[in-house]
Homo-oligomer: A and B are copies of this chain.
Amino acid sequence: MKNTVSISQENYLKVIFKLQNEHGIASNQSIAEKLEATPAAVTGMLRKLASLEWVEHTAYQGAVLTAKGQRIAISTIRKHRLWEVFLVDKLKFKWDAVHQWAEELEHIGDADFTERLDAFLGCPATDPHGDPIPDANGDWTGNERVIGADKLSREQIFTVRGVSNSASDFLQHLDALNIHLGKRFEVLDHFPFDGSWEWSDENGESLRISREVAGQLLVELSKKEK
């Protein structure tokens, strides 16, 4: 009766959780892509997870987590993000290098371990990419005031709060642009031709931002004053 969850199962539950939040249901193919596995492998695992009552699987439709499955997924995400904080804050990794290791560390430790880690890190609210860290009960509050940087208008002042893409090539590009979480900018201009932007930072230095970059940056509007 030891219903213990395997590493592979945790990875599946985590991916299904994220897909389900985006599209309401996780399709076989979308799961396969994220996990770099074949659709056939996904079918097999979904049957397994369904038999464990962690997902509900409707043939040819896709999968949705049960309450129990969601609990496991959120706990894994919590551990993933806490470890990312550890890697950046304590081990001084760059934010583009932590995902791979957190992907392994997230499978280690029980509830007690996780609470110790959380306390040691000072109970951080977000991970190095601005993603919220669920609390020990699995609850969390996303920052509701955060919007995509491609939704801004001229003269708005805003603070960078997160990224919707944590791939290292994107994060390294942000480093090259000297864009990091917590930095404030003002929108100087927007160019419909290519969707690009001109922003200025707090020192008045102006920089150009491509549509691709703005589309994956999450920002929070500031009160009108600078």
Q: Which residues of A contact B (CB under 8 A)?
A: 90-93, 101, 104-105, 108-109, 113, 116-117, 120
Contacts and interface: CB of A to CB of B under 8 A. Distances in A.
Contact of A113 (B91, B108, B117): B91
Instruction: Specify how many copies of this chain sit in the oligomer.
Output: 2
Contacts of A93: 116
A3 to B, nearest CB: 19
Q: Which of A91, A92, A109, A116 has the most CB of B within 10 A?
A: A91
Contacts of A105: 105, 108
B91 A101 contact: no
A101 B92 contact: no
A109 B113 contact: no
Contact of A116 (B91, B104, B113): B91
